Amino acid sequence: MREKRALDRIDQNILSVLQTEGRITNQQLAEKVNLSPSSCLARVRKLEEDRCIESYHAQLNLERLCRYITCVAMVSLGQHRQEDFRTFERFVKTLDEVVQCDTVSGGCDFIVRIVCADMERYHEVNEMLLNSGTNVVNIKTHVVMSETKPFSKYPLDDLLQ
Amino acid sequence: MREKRALDRIDQNILSVLQTEGRITNQQLAEKVNLSPSSCLARVRKLEEDRCIESYHAQLNLERLCRYITCVAMVSLGQHRQEDFRTFERFVKTLDEVVQCDTVSGGCDFIVRIVCADMERYHEVNEMLLNSGTNVVNIKTHVVMSETKPFSKYPLDDLLQ
DNA sequence: CTTGAAAAATTTAAGAA
DNA sequence: TTCTTAAATTTTTCAAG
């Protein structure tokens, strides 16, 4: 297991704030965590440098932008050689409409999240997955009716002690 | 269906950049989309105001921070009255370790993503879901072995024409 | 580690095209 | 719409506690 970065309370607070307010100014952040702007910035830079903060992203509201559907596909491979996994993983990374993919244990091998224009397009993506060069034998599709709780942050307070 | 915001090429480019570089300076962004800083900022503010940009977030690298596991739970309700759905939806929103929940069609009713410290804790969360006040009759768990393709952006280029 | 002040860079508003 | 200019704000460095 990789060695973890030691975090004090202030670092935790900084990370918590940046998770939900990624574009907060350093001054406001410093105020929230009771630090001077300069030491606050130094900590943020260090967290970035140590790759505790991976990146920053704008969260778009697709509803406002275009028609789309989200599907979750449970994908099973016919064989479970390491090479079969690798090939599939490599393939999904090339598809922009596959927005997320996890390798999982349980009743299937991969859980694949797909965002595309409509059902017709989803069927095309499905075909592509079936013909990905790997031995995909089964895809069970769940259509997302409602994003009840969209991802917004990790439960830092629960995870760190 | 809600009316969509009209986007020209420049708006699309701005959104694409901000999806992957959420903390880019306005000057750099303006340069990338071939606009002056002031008109670029005006467009960004308008996209924010129109809620095309929902929010900004820091993407944390949990690996560097703590021990944790991610599980995906496929939850089925015993009955499908609207009230049963509502109750469950309300409940998962109160659990920080439930980082994402979708209401879906297919072999189950909800797909719930859970990030917690370890398996022991996962079992506790599972119990909580089973006793959520709703009629949860079945939970099938997939443990995430590897986040093959973490979510990073929507396929804007595919979705907008 | 921290603070606080100064310099550099960026954001933002206003006026003109 | 856009750009240019200039003022306000923020970031960033650095000497010192």
Q: Which long-range contacts (CB under 8 A, 24 or more apart) does A2-8 make?
A: A2/B63, A2/B64, A4/B64, A4/B65, A4/B66, A4/B67, A5/A47, A5/A50, A5/A52, A5/B64, A5/B65, A7/A52, A7/A160, A7/B65
Mean local confidence (pLDDT), B88-109 = 97
**Interchain contact, A158 vs B100, CB within 8 Å:** no
List the single residue in B with minimal CA-CA distance to A8: B65
**Interchain contact, B155 vs A116, CB within 8 Å:** yes
Q: Look at residue B24 and tell me whether its pLDDT is greater than 80.
A: yes
Q: How many Å from the N-terminal Cα to the C-terminal Cα in chain A?
A: 18
Q: What is the CA radius of gyration of chain A?
A: 20
Q: Look at residue B1 and tell me whether its pLDDT is greater than 70.
A: no
Chain centroid to Cα B84, Å, comes to 23
Q: Look at residue A1 and tell me whether its pLDDT is greater than 60.
A: no
Question: How big is chain B, counted in residues?
Answer: 161
Closest CA to B25 of A15, A30, A56: A56
List the single residue in B with minimal CA-CA distance to A52: B61
List the single residue in B with minimal CA-CA distance to A89: B148
Mean pLDDT of chain B: 95
Query: Left if phi > 0, otherwise alpha if psi is -120 to 50, otherwise beta: which for A106?
Result: left
List domains and CATH numbers for chain B.
9-58 (1.10.10.10), 62-143 (3.30.70.920)
* pLDDT bucket at A2, cuts 50 / 70 / 90: low
Tokens describing residue B11: 């708006």
Interface residues 4-63 of A with strand C (CB < 7 Å): 8, 10, 35-39, 42-43
Find tokens 């999240």 and name the residue: A113
Tell me which chain A residues have a C-beta less than 8 angstroms from the C-beta of B26.
none
**Count of Cβ atoms closer than 10 Å to residue B137 Cβ:** 12
Q: Look at residue A161 and tell me whether its pLDDT is greater than 90.
A: no
Mean pLDDT of chain A: 95
**Interchain contact, B96 vs A62, CB within 8 Å:** no
Contact with chain B for residue A114, Cβ under 8 A: no
Tens digits of residue pLDDT in A78-95 = 999 999 999 999 999 999
Helical segments of A6-154, H only: 9-20, 26-32, 37-49, 62-65, 82-94, 119-130
DSSP assignment of B101-115 equals EEEESSS-SEEEEEE
Contact with chain B for residue A80, Cβ under 8 A: no
Q: Which amino acid is residue B111, in one-letter code?
A: I
Find tokens 């768990």 and name the residue: B141
**Interchain contact, A106 vs B142, CB within 8 Å:** yes
